[in-house]
Chains A and B, each alone.
Chain A
Amino acid sequence: MSFMQPSPVKYACSCGIVNPINKLFFCRHCPKLRCGYCVSHEVESHFCSNCLENIPSSEARHKKNCCANCFDCPCCHHTLSARATTVPVVRKTEEPKDGESAGAATPPPASSKPSAVPTTKKMYYLSCLSCRWTTRDVGIPDQGVATGTWPDNECLYQARFNTLMEYYQSVVLQEKQEKQEFQRRKAPKAHKFPSLTDRTGLTVSLIRRQIGWSEKNVPKTKPLNITPAEAISELEDLPQDIFTQPINLRNITTVAQRHSQPADQPTAVGNLYPQRRSLWIKRSLRCRQCEHNLIKPEYHPTSIKYRIQLFASYHVPEVVMVRLEHPLEAGQSNAILLKLSNPTMYDMTISILDEKPTEEPQINPDEFQATCKIKEEAVTSSPLMKVAALARQTLTKEVTREVRDVANAKIKLLESEFVLNQRDDSKEFDEEVQAQTEEPNFIVWRKGNKVLLRLQFTPAAELEVNDVVTLGFFMQYTYVNTVSNTAEKKEPTTHTLSSRLFIDAGRIEKGN
């Protein structure tokens, strides 16, 4: 399978979107094909892609989804790396450009120290390997340790931001309290007899206030007062020299640079500061119908493996287009060679159909989901899972759309069904001793779990030169499911499933 070229063979997902097999998943519980569009995406873990540190989601939220130690270049958005320089301590100023850089970091020159023995100290600055931007460019002093001590650039409006944030947090809190209060009042009293306060409409707190006692329960959080923003009608005039001075574009930031520093959006390159690197996430995918995980990555950021990986190519027979027998001509019968391979450990019986086979009766969806849920809890009950489950919103139900039939060729159906042998990795190394059994004549070649199939078709007669010929058919296959949805049944069940396939066979080469 080539990942660089788009595959000509596409499978219709159960939601109706057509995808190559390597973009599809297979829910063993439903059992149906799923694609990225019809599963729910959940954040599994946060990590920094540079230092590969795993960061718990609460901490990630606290740190505004940024890594504490890694920085991006404000100039070209590449990762900054720490560079070490050795600085002699006896020297008065470490950099000639300004005193403030040296003042804080290097201890004052000790005249008692013999200058013949120059003690050196390692100092660090951050540097971009791509555009050679350094923290010295904007006058950030070198630091004695490589990580952890880099100053955050506080923008001009930071205080205002903080008060606004506090204000809105208290607004949220207040609304929540009011809602609770409302629900408490609305809810029928647990007491057998109506209390005095119910009759009179007095509340406990009201009485307390009347008596002059202080509020017993938590005082209602009042949003603190903030000074509202004021609109200004008078604007400062532009400086006069803006019309006369030629601008130096090198000192002006680009739009991308401004957007990467959204708090102050500097216009001059001298105000670019290293930006904390955004965290990446590991994602898990969940079937929307049965709420089972389809993809669940390993927790650790350095691992690229999965704990659950239900990729379609592990469960659904893969169809690869090998070649056409003749150049495509409208209305002329032709044949296509398809290689099918069975990725599962069970034999599959495959037939090619031109219309959707009648589905086996589906299990009652509600009951099915209930059993699934119980199992889910039992299988994955890590604390992290629980958090994810709580945070999950109500899953939108699957909307099935019609698959648009784009096929424009007539398939000549196979005379019979055929068996695709199970995958057996050890067989790959065996000598070819397969006793040739009587094969149907549409099977060109067979080895192990692979079959080369000859499928005859006729492109529609009204096609013009350069039109794309698309073959469409249903592939029905038996699938042995090793997971069962009910707790008692343990032996694998066999399903007869079908997938709709579209094959982009190429373009008409000759007119008739």
Chain B
Amino acid sequence: MPAESDIKIMPKSVVCEESTLNGDITISSGCVVHPSATIIAEAPIVLGENCIVEEYATIAHRLKDGAASDASNTLHIGANNVFEVGCTVEAARIGDKNVFESKCFVGSGVTVSSGCVVGAGIQLRTAQVLPENTIVYGRQALQREAIEKQGSQTLQIDFLRKVLPNYHHLRKPNYDPKKARSVV
């Protein structure tokens, strides 16, 4: 298991200390990771900009048999995704502007493109590709196509960025992409 030091937090992101981060994780700027959120990276995970990971949400990148655990097998999560309370996301690929509603489960065979919404409590376990703007809703997990992508969460992120530091200890940003580039 990789050490905690593999976690790269870019500036301007809010990552609470009580979150559980395991493995090689890169958190881009503008992200908000709530306390008791979990990110498990058996192989590297790169969280895109302005993502929100709420309480008890779990993002996992599980290692399949024989797969490499190095940078060649990185899970790139796009920008502006929302992982709501209690969801578990193990998707193979995640694009931009997706919403994973509370207590939903997205299995490892699922490819999530962009602008998708997985409704509250829905379990997606079989291998499938969610095309752009897919909305999975209801008890029978019906799918429909939205006309436009979900609105961005800028207001919510700004609010959280203001409020969370007042009540929680934060992990310090330890990685500046500009500096890193100049060093290399």
Contacts and interface: CB of A to CB of B under 8 A. Distances in A.
B144 A269 contact: yes
A254 B144 CA distance: 11
B165 interface: no
A197 interface: no
A132 B142 contact: no
A76 interface: yes
Contacts of A254: 142
A247 to B, nearest CB: 14
Interface string A119-160: 000000000001111101100000000000000000000000
A269 B148 CA distance: 15
B145 A130 contact: no
Contacts of A251: 145
Interface hub of A132, A133, A137 (most chain B Cβ within 10 A): A132
B137 A132 contact: yes
B150 A132 contact: yes
B177 interface: no
A75 interface: yes
B146 A132 contact: yes
B145 A250 contact: yes
B117 interface: yes
Interface in A219-254: 250-251, 254
A130 B145 CA distance: 14
Contacts of B144: 75, 131, 133, 250, 269
Contacts of B143: 250
Contacts, number: 30
Interface in A388-407: none
Contacts of B147: 134, 136-137
B146 A76 contact: no
B119 A131 contact: yes
Interface string A71-113: 0000110000000000000000000000000000000000000
Interface residues of B, number: 13
A137 B150 CA distance: 13
A133 B150 CA distance: 11
A414 to B, nearest CB: 51
Contacts of B148: 136
B153 to A, nearest CB: 14
B135 interface: yes
Nearest to A133: B144
B118 to A, nearest CB: 11
B21 to A, nearest CB: 31
B138 interface: yes
Interface string A265-298: 0000100000000000000000000000000000
A202 B152 CA distance: 83
A269 to B, nearest CB: 7
Nearest to A137: B147
A75 B137 CA distance: 10
B138 A76 contact: yes
A137 B138 contact: no
Contacts of A136: 147-148
Interface in B124-148: 135, 137-138, 142-148
Interface string B95-122: 0000000000000000000000101000
Contacts of B117: 132
Contacts of B150: 132
A254 B150 CA distance: 24
A119 B143 CA distance: 39
A362 to B, nearest CB: 52
Contacts of B142: 76, 131, 254
A131 B137 contact: yes
A279 B84 CA distance: 34
B167 to A, nearest CB: 28
A130 B102 CA distance: 12
A8 B119 CA distance: 39
Nearest to B136: A131
B146 A130 contact: no
Contacts of B137: 76, 130-132
Contacts of A137: 146-147
B112 to A, nearest CB: 16
A133 B142 CA distance: 13
Interface in A460-490: none
A457 B146 CA distance: 66
B66 to A, nearest CB: 36
A54 to B, nearest CB: 31
B38 to A, nearest CB: 27
A254 B140 CA distance: 12
A322 B148 CA distance: 60
A436 B143 CA distance: 69
B120 to A, nearest CB: 8
A46 B145 CA distance: 36
Contact of B138 (A131, A134, A250, A269): A131
A265 to B, nearest CB: 18
A76 B143 CA distance: 11
A495 to B, nearest CB: 50
Given A131-B135, A131-B137, A269-B144, 5 more contacts: A130-B119, A131-B144, A132-B117, A133-B144, A250-B143
The 10 closest A-B pairs by CB, nearest first: A131-B137, A137-B147, A250-B145, A132-B135, A76-B138, A130-B137, A132-B117, A76-B137, A250-B144, A131-B135
Interface of A: 75-76, 130-134, 136-137, 250-251, 254, 269
Interface of B: 117, 119, 135, 137-138, 142-148, 150
10 contacts: A76-B138, A76-B142, A131-B137, A131-B138, A131-B142, A132-B135, A136-B147, A250-B144, A250-B145, A251-B145
